[in-house]
Structure formats: structure tokens, C-alpha cells
Structure 1
């Protein structure tokens, strides 16, 4: 590895990508808007809290502040073109409400085609640098039958992944538990196992631990 010592903003900030975009939906009166947010994360299981980071420059940012409720939907890779389109134009200039959607239980718009979606009530907003983190409480959950496992996880190979700068992909079409298969890899070209002597990661003695 080489050491980068940037002064000011990083020349690139995609090292932790890819990520699964959450398409944020909001409605003010008859105005409906959608905005993909790849900076999203679960924050708490009890109560169920979910966060999305949006720039104040985004039209959706103002809608969330005013309406205090929003949706977050997760889409299959087959909808990459739609998600990209929603993220490449502004709701100030284009009526994104023309995208196929339905109104959820709380009245928020939910983009059609998702394998799962949340309806959220806004609890808090925190500023971190050039983005604001919108913390929402999940008040309703939508799931598409047949696309999730018994724990609500999307089936392997289904999710849309965003690599940054308009590049999209899909995950591997298999998933496995490394503590059960310590020498198995997703790529035949990769190493047969990951090592870490002294940490219980040698082949044959992989242990399941909490981090």
C-alpha cells in the first residue's frame, strides 16, 4: 500500500464503496420527489432507527425538513438506470413524481420495484461537514414477497450496488458463513483462506465472535 497525505479534501473518497443506495422519497402537497442516497445506515434496532445523509444543496433536503417524514427504498440491480436517472437530475427542474410510485401508510411516496422499503418519521438532524444526517424512526416496513429470506435479507445477487461516479454493479450470487467454510472463497482467483494467526482465523479453527 502507498501512503496518501492529502491537504484539504481527499482526491478520492470511494475507498469504502460499493454501497447499496437508499432511494429517499418525500412529498409536500402534490409535489413528489425521489433522491438516491448511498450514504445510509441503520442506527438502532430498538427502536428501529435509520439514517440518510443528504447535502443541503439537494431539493429533497428541504422537503424532509419541512414534512418531517420520508421513505427509504432498496432496489434490485435491474433498476440501475432508474436510480441513476433519479440521482442525476434535480427535483427543482424535473417532476420526479412521474416515476412509478405508491403512497405508503403515512402518505410518503415509495418508489415502485423495491424489494424492501421503510416509512420513517424524522426524529433528528445532525450536521457533519458538508452533509446533514437525517435520523428517522421506522414506522412501517414494506417487503416484496419472494425476494427476501426469512430474516428479511435480500437474496444473493439481487441488490443494486453503487461504486461512485455513475458506476453500478451487483453482488455475488452466493453467500456463505466463513466460520463454517474457512477455506471457501467467492472467486477462484482469490486466496483459499484469509489468515491472521493469533486471532483464531487460521483454517480449521475459525470461531464466531462478536467484534
Structure 2
């Protein structure tokens, strides 16, 4: 019997993760935040509906989790109002903002402008931001505690993509940034 054939017939082995004692970091929370800010991200608005009322917040901790099934992940601070609302609703929307939507981002980040009034569309009965580069609706599948945040995993039920939105709204180093094309 070849080594490959032997491996194929062996049961999987669960290897325990090494136990690592937490140590005190040599940096401050502010230094960690500044360091993580060096990773450029897109900007999204997370939405949900609770008791017939729409709730939304700006975030940049968003990523795809899986293609099959289609999963997305948002990270929300435990202290944020949205945290409890996502748990209650069991569903959420994500709107990936386009470059012209700076006022939308600021509005849902707690810096409203008198010149801006949010406009929502309904996608699979979930509110999303009109004019976003991507809009998706997801059912909450998992919630994983992660320090002072929770990672909410949603299974995407529907999405819309606007390829002519003018490019993404980016965030880098604590401020909005522009994408410079290399080609």
C-alpha cells in the first residue's frame, strides 16, 4: 500500500491548538488602532430593521467569508447600538459605498449633515443604501465573540452590483482616500 493510499484510509486527526499565555502588549490601544489604519479598506453601511424601524451604521470591518455558501462577515463593537439590533433582527443589509457617497458614510458614522437625508431601497425586505456600489441582504448565520467586538456572519440571500458607480469609497490612515489606478 502506498503512503498516499494509507493517508486516504486514515481517520482525520484533531490536533489541539497550542496553549499560549496572553502577554501584555508593548504598545497602546491607540498605536494598535493607528497600525491597523494602515490597511486601506472600503466603507460600508450596515443596515437592519427592528420593529419596523430602519437602523444603520458606517463600518469598514467587512469581508467576504465564503463563496459556497455565499457568506459575508461584519465586525461590530459590543458597545454599538447596532450590536443588539443585529442579534434581534437576525438579518442585515450591507451597502458598499461608492466614492461620491462620503456624506452617506459621515451621516451613519454620527456626523450628519443638514444637506443629506438618507434614501433606502428594499432588497429582499432589507433596507440598503440607494446608489451604493454593492447592496446585499443576508440572514444571520453565526455570531462569534471577538474581544470587544462580535463577528456577525451572514448568508447572502440577494445582491445588486452597480459597476458604473464611480469607484469605491476608501478609508486609510483615519481618513477617506482615493484609489489611484496603476494601469
- Does TM-score exceed 0.5, indicating one fold? yes
**Distance apart, 1:51 and its partner CA:** 0.1
Aligned to 1:169: 177
Higher strand proportion: 2
**Distance apart, 1:66 and its partner CA:** 0.4
Alignment partner of 1:135 is 2:153: yes
CA contact (8 A) 2:44 2:105 kept: no
**Distance apart, 1:100 and its partner CA:** 0.5
Aligned to 2:119: 100
TM-score of the pair, normalised by structure 1: 0.66
Structure 2, gaps ≥5 residues long? 1-24
In structure 2, C-alpha distance between the alignment counterparts of 1:164 and 1:109, rounded to whole Å: 30
For residue 81 of structure 1, the aligned residue among 90, 94, 103 is: 103
CA contact (8 A) 2:93 2:135 kept: yes
Helix, strand or coil: the match of 1:63? helix
Structure 1, gaps ≥5 residues long? 91-97, 148-156, 177-211
In structure 2, C-alpha distance between the alignment counterparts of 1:89 and 1:128, rounded to whole Å: 27
In structure 1, C-alpha distance between the alignment counterparts of 2:53 and 2:111, rounded to whole Å: 16
In structure 1, C-alpha distance between the alignment counterparts of 2:28 and 2:179, rounded to whole Å: 33
Higher helix proportion: 2
Query: Would the alpha carbon gap of residues 161 and 145 (structure 1) be closer, same or farther in structure 2, given more than 3 Å must change?
Result: closer
CA contact (8 A) 2:123 2:136 kept: no
Higher relative contact order, chain-length normalized (CA < 8 Å, sep 6+): 2
**Distance apart, 1:7 and its partner CA:** 4.6
In structure 2, C-alpha distance between the alignment counterparts of 1:112 and 1:70, rounded to whole Å: 15
Aligned to 1:28: 50
In structure 1, C-alpha distance between the alignment counterparts of 2:101 and 2:55, rounded to whole Å: 17
Aligned Cα RMSD in Å?
Answer: 2.1
> Structure 1 residues 69-78 or 5-14, which shifts more?
5-14
Alignment partner of 1:13 is 2:33: yes
TM-score of the pair, normalised by structure 2: 0.75
